Amino acid sequence: MEDRISRLEKDVKKYKTLSVAAIIVAVILLFITIFFISRSHEQVTQVAVYEEQNVKLQDELDSIMREYEVMKSQYGSLNAKLSEKDSVIWAHAEEIQKLIASQADYRRIKKKLELLQDQGKEYVQLLDSLYKENKKLTEENTEIKQKVSRLSKEKEELSQEKEVLEEKVTIASKLKAYNIALRGMAVKSGGKKEDETDKAKKVKKLRVTFTLSENELTPAGELNLYCRISLPDGRVLALGKGDGYSFTNDGKLLQYSIKMSVNYDKTAKKVTMEWDLRNDDKAVAGEYTAQIFTETDYLGEGKLILQ
């Protein structure tokens, strides 16, 4: 009996020991479970935080690059001058994109984003400087072109004024002959008496009279005058043929009838030029013309009609 009681007590003690051990194991397992559940929850929370941070970082990167592109678009073709710096900025943006995708250190990415933003601002400032410089050069170029155009116009106007003045001076310096008259003269009493006549058979002499104008612009000195007398049939009276009886006017070689040198002193001067008909020359009815020249100018003409 005592043995049974002793064995029963041993069994109870053994049961109690096993129960305590089981409880201890259960408690340990509970703590382990709680630990892993807590750890898992922390990991899930951390993953969510990383994902949220990545979204924010990606949004910030996208915002910086959008703003950068908008600012660039305002400067048009000027971007080509800073293409190397633009490439550097895009290379940094791609590097940040890879860091975000690999969930690199948040603070590291944040610093690179700040650097990228500063680079973008610096780029825009350079573009703005180029724009202002280009605008200034354009304005200066426009101003220079306007000045050149204005000077060219003034030069053209001065040239035109000069041409007008030269033309006026040329016109003003030309001698003129007034009251040009061609008369037929009859000679009587052995040449002592002369009468004007329009009868061809009585004419022994042709007389040309005119007045040289006063002109301050014509140089004073010896002045050669030439008279060409044309007959009704168009022939020009002349003492002979060849250069010795010709003169040049306006590039043309002309035959003259009478040549006279006068001392011109810039004042009005009356001139008389005469052609004596030779013994074998006879005046005929018709229209005669007397043209007056200098070596540079045509002074005018007078006409005579003989019956």
| pLDDT score, position 236 | 93
- pLDDT score at 128: 76
Question: Which amino acid is present at 104?
Answer: A
Using 70 as the pLDDT threshold, list the residues of the chain that sit under it.
1-15, 18, 20, 26, 30, 33-50, 74-83, 164-173, 191
Nearest one of 112, 109, 111 to 99, comparing CA atoms: 109
Looking at the structure of the chain, the number of domains it has is 2
Whether 23 is covered by a domain: the verdict is yes
Co-location of 102 and 216 in the same domain: no
> What confidence score (pLDDT) does residue 242 get?
80
Pair (111, 197) in one structural domain:
no
Rounded to 5 degrees, φ, ψ at 261 are -105, 130
The residue out of 126, 141, 169 marking a domain boundary is 126
Last residue within a domain, chosen from 67, 96, 126: 126
pLDDT of residue 206: 96
Question: 182, 290 in Cβ contact below 8 A?
Answer: yes
Q: Residue 209 sits in a domain of what CATH number?
A: 2.60.40.10
Asked if 46 and 120 sit in the same domain, the reply is: yes
SS3 percent helix, strand, coil of the chain, rounded to 5, is: 55, 25, 20
Please give the pLDDT value at position 196: 94
Looking at the structure, do residues 200 and 89 belong to the same domain, yes or no? no
| Same domain membership, residue 294 and residue 212 | yes
For Cα atoms 167, 170, 171, give the angle at the middle one, nearest 5 degrees: 85
Beta strands (DSSP E) in the chain are: 177-188, 193-197, 205-212, 221-230, 246-249, 252-255, 258-264, 269-276, 286-293, 298-306
Q: Is residue 161 part of a domain?
A: no
Residue 274 domain-assigned?
yes
Q: Could you tell me if 19 and 92 lie in one domain?
A: yes
pLDDT of residue 104: 74
Element (H, E) at 51: helix 2-73
- Asked if residue 92 and residue 9 are part of one domain, the reply reads yes
Domain extent for 253: 177-306
What is d(CA 132, CA 126) in angstroms, rounded to the nearest whole number?
A: 10
φ, ψ of residue 229 in degrees (nearest 5): -105, 120
| 191, 80: one domain | no
What's the mean per-residue pLDDT of the chain?
81
Does pTM top 0.75 for this prediction?
no
Question: 251 lies in a domain?
Answer: yes
pLDDT for position 215: 87
Position 73 in a domain = yes
The model's pLDDT over 29-86, given as tens digits with 9 standing for 90+, comes to 767 766 665 665 555 455 555 677 777 778 877 887 787 777 777 666 666 656 677 7
